[in-house]
């Protein structure tokens, strides 16, 4: 097999660029790293553009033969350990990564699900990754994010989704207010989370045809979104804490939806 040993190789340089958001946006591609994430990408029929394997990893037997068989069907390149380290984003790399095609645009919003989750300026990669994983766990397949929300294809987000990134369609929109107005035309209620209300998530009789907006960790849902919301709800607190972490709050709300559905 041919092994790439130069950091200046064009394939290597183009993949390395994907560590930066501007190039991920430009190429509509992102990197997943590690045996499990690459294996899941294959299992979920993700649009894999290229797989990169460190030659030492390929020879060590770390990757099981059945996976190597599937990898061989893809566009695959081998690199030296030093070259792979320039591409890796983790401290102890497993020696395998894949370049995946992004998906998601506003025209792809599906209106046949009970809930459309909307994120207004979530900043923490761990929060976003956990939210995507939670969405997947309740069998919802899409999320709308404002352009002020952290990049869903940030390596930290991708890792924390635990594979949900392949099953949840992340739809980034430039004008969240206008998008929500369009959603309302499809007879969806816009429900925003807010501390400035007496109505709670338990006041909602049926979680159906709703766009639920989760706000920024520090500032909550933006004023322009609150102004067009049909309702504002909060999670009631029994202790002195006034609010929950954004990912935890999302989980509480989505599992109230599950409880009512069951």
Residues whose CB falls within 8 Å of the CB of residue 161, separated by 6 or more in sequence, listed in order: 129, 132, 133, 136, 168
The reply to whether CATH 3.40.50.2300 applies to domain 106-261 is no
Q: With a cut of 90, say whether residue 2 has pLDDT above it.
A: no
pLDDT tens digits, one per residue of 79-126: 999 999 999 998 889 999 999 999 866 678 999 999 999 999 999 999
Per-domain residue ranges of the chain: 3-101, 106-261
Q: With a cut of 90, say whether residue 130 has pLDDT above it.
A: yes
Q: With a cut of 80, say whether residue 16 has pLDDT above it.
A: yes
CA distances from 58 to 51, 62, 203 (A): 12, 7, 56
Give pLDDT, residue 77.
95
Give pLDDT, residue 104.
67
pLDDT tens digits, one per residue of 41-77: 999 999 999 999 998 876 777 888 899 999 999 999 9
Q: Rounded mean pLDDT of 8-35?
A: 96
What distance in Å separates the CA atoms of residue 177 and residue 175, rounded to the nearest whole number?
6
**Total-model pTM:** 0.91
Q: Is-same-fold flag (3-101; 106-261)? A: no
Q: Which CATH class is domain 3-101?
A: alpha beta
pLDDT tens digits, one per residue of 197-256: 999 999 999 999 999 999 999 999 999 999 999 999 999 999 998 888 999 999 999 999
Compute φ and ψ for 189, nearest 5 degrees: -80, 140
Give the helix/strand (H/E) hosting 12: helix 10-17
What distance in Å separates the CA atoms of residue 83 and residue 80, rounded to the nearest whole number?
5
Q: With a cut of 80, say whether residue 195 has pLDDT above it.
A: yes
């Amino acid at each position: 097999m041919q092994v790439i040993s130069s950091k200046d190789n064009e394939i290597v340089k183009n993949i390395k660029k994907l560590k930066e958001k501007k190039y991920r946006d430009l190429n509509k591609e992102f990197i997943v790293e590690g045996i499990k994430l690459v294996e899941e990408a294959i299992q979920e029929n993700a649009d894999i553009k290229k797989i990169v394997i460190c030659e030492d990893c390929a020879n060590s037997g770390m990757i099981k033969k059945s996976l190597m068989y599937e990898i061989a069907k893809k566009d695959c390149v081998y690199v030296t350990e030093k070259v792979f380290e320039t591409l890796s984003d983790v401290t102890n790399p497993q020696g395998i990564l894949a370049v995946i095609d992004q998906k998601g645009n506003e025209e792809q919003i599906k209106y046949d699900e009970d809930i459309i989750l909307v994120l207004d300026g979530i900043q923490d990669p761990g929060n976003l990754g956990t939210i995507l994983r939670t969405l997947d766990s309740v069998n919802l397949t899409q999320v709308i994010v404002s352009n002020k929300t952290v990049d869903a294809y940030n390596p930290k987000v991708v890792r924390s989704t635990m594979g949900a990134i392949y099953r949840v369609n992340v739809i980034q929109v430039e004008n969240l207010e206008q998008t929500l107005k369009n959603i309302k035309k499809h007879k969806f209620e816009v429900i925003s989370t807010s501390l400035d209300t007496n109505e709670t998530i338990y006041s909602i009789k049926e979680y159906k045809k709703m766009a639920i907006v989760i706000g920024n960790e520090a500032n909550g849902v933006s004023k322009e979104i609150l102004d067009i919301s049909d309702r504002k709800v909060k999670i009631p607190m029994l202790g002195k804490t006034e609010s929950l972490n954004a990912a935890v709050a999302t989980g509480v709300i989505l599992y109230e939806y599950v409880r009512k559905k069951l």
